[in-house]
Structure 1
């Protein structure tokens, strides 16, 4: 889909939106996350600000992340890579609205984002036989019909987020994979991740790559503040004995900045999710493989405290600090401490906690 076509579709859709109930009708959830229960049933869960379950809706298989519609009480639950489906759910009734199937030669990467007006959904995808990264474009005003695709700007697009200016940032992880080889990385000798910026019309406006010594540090998960700063959770694909920083930040027009932490090793070279506190004073990075969270000063990037937290997975803003999904519940707090709130349901959380 060309840039002008993308914009034309967005404008044409302005007259096609249908009325639907808002998030208050779904129990006023503040967060969405994918989870599993004993017996391997899989769910999309809405959590309120006080960590109560607003809703729980069963989904077909293990989910990864979700995208929340900016106005309607609808959420898109994405299958874990290399999943080929995403489910659009009515979070008031618990009913499936429609199931999205990736086109031939594509699979989803577990993430997506709505345009600011909620009329279009963009999904990160692997065009695995080319290979190249794609962003699928789906019309949310017409039954989520697929209407085209855009280049992601690199190989292995994973998380994408909408920025405050209406544009998008895309974490192109750099890892070439193919469903015939499960989750094996096929391009280690040439791997080159990047962070790509798109404007609100879907055109690539900027990109940045890590330096040569960090090219095996896959750019996977991202968050941003109102100023346009992007913070990045990294996953090292190089020598498992080599210690490297797993957090970076970026402002357009500058180079990537990498920040290490004395407890980085506890993440086992795999940073799961990342978030900025609402006041910008702290950055939190989870390590689900290591059961650990590390915190950084949000202004200087200096390391703050870390905490051992079993199954620490998703993280999002919570007031001036954070909420982190952990075994049996959530942590509410930050580098200066916190407390765990138990959540009913015996859930095992997946990697992400999406703020609505």
Structure 2
């Protein structure tokens, strides 16, 4: 990080804040005890951030000014930062207990957010994924004080298009650099497909430097979304930018220090069902399974997280959101569907809410401790 924040003081203050934040206020129980949060479109056409309980009930519905993408959940307080869909320039800090907007984060001039962010383990800092489109196109990770909500620093992400970031360890951030150059003046156009270089990068929060980066073997496999198992194993979902019929594996596993990505792929026609598009990655709550969802293919594919063996394909129209739930998983889709899977992959329950779920689910409270 820049000289404005001494990194040793940064980590020391985070440790002190851990004890303070534990007693700083009410936890997620004050917001109705949700196990997950997600953005959705309501029947009215308006947008909202919704908290889901373990029973599939809405703990809260808080209005959003536009379409959301993903939300970062504070580990201790009932706060969520809801990010607009790329290329968004704001994030709303929402007190989910009161339903009030506590702060609005604005990306610096010449930057936009990618729709994702992550808190430090103690909740003292928020890290945001950003595009420096008016500078050098290299990705940035913004650092925000989660008390004052002021931006205090930034670090390079180790690639172009840092779409999602999460903690890979106490002082290590894992970053999915999609590799695709974009500019708001060009909308969502992809400007460098011939030369894109996606990677999974690991950023030291102590030094502010990328200490490791793993690239997929195919440069058109844009690495976008990641999940972490409690022991540090990372799952990464990729989106293929070539012809769908030529799509390689869309799910990879990686552990810091292990070298190359470990690619997971269903056999033959099963793999083709995903249509070359991985929407989200997640581990089951017990860590034994890894899943990649595909709204384009209307299916999720489940793999054994240890052997890498393909286990099954689950049909579900427009499915994208995935997060640990109990020992299993929760999947959400754009038609309002919710599907709970057990530890063995069996469907435990389903629900249909009168909303259109957006792309991602975030586990909070007890559920987040499995993520």
Q: TM-score, normalised by structure 1?
A: 0.93
What SS does structure 2 have at the residue aligned with 1:248?
strand
Aligned with residue 310 of structure 1, among 305, 309, 317: 317
> CA–CA distance in 2 between the matches of 1:259 and 1:9?
37
Aligned with residue 42 of structure 1, among 36, 42, 47: 47
Q: CA deviation at 1:231?
A: 1.0
C-alpha contact 2:328 2:345 (8 A) present in aligned 1: no
What SS does structure 2 have at the residue aligned with 1:255?
coil
Aligned with residue 99 of structure 1, among 82, 101, 104: 104
Aligned residues: 352
4+ residue segments displaced more than 6 Å: 15-18
2:191 corresponds to = 186
Q: Mean Cα displacement is larger for which, 42-51 or 12-21?
A: 12-21
1:147-296 alignment runs, 5 A limit = 147-201=152-206, 202-211=208-217, 214-253=218-257, 254-262=259-267, 263-296=270-303
Aligned with residue 339 of structure 2, among 321, 331, 339: 331
> CA–CA distance in 1 between the matches of 2:203 and 2:337?
36
Q: CA deviation at 1:267?
A: 1.9
Q: Mean Cα displacement is larger for which, 218-227 or 159-168?
A: 159-168
1:2 corresponds to = 2
What SS does structure 2 have at the residue aligned with 1:221?
strand
C-alpha contact 1:78 1:85 (8 A) present in aligned 2: yes
> CA–CA distance in 1 between the matches of 2:302 and 2:97?
35
C-alpha contact 1:51 1:343 (8 A) present in aligned 2: no
C-alpha contact 2:38 2:70 (8 A) present in aligned 1: yes
Q: 5+ unaligned residues in a row in structure 2: which ranges? A: 365-371
What SS does structure 1 have at the residue aligned with 2:165?
strand
1:21-32 alignment runs, 5 A limit = 21-32=26-37
2:78 corresponds to = 73
- What CA deviation, in whole Å up to 9, does each residue of 1:219-247 have, x standing for no partner? 10111112221111010012333131111
Aligned with residue 115 of structure 1, among 99, 115, 120: 120
> CA–CA distance in 1 between the matches of 2:221 and 2:339?
28
> CA–CA distance in 1 between the matches of 2:8 and 2:131?
23
What SS does structure 1 have at the residue aligned with 2:360?
coil
Aligned with residue 356 of structure 2, among 341, 348, 351: 348
Q: CA deviation at 1:79?
A: 0.4
Q: Mean Cα displacement is larger for which, 327-336 or 311-320?
A: 327-336
Q: CA deviation at 1:261?
A: 0.9
> CA–CA distance in 2 between the matches of 1:209 and 1:108?
23
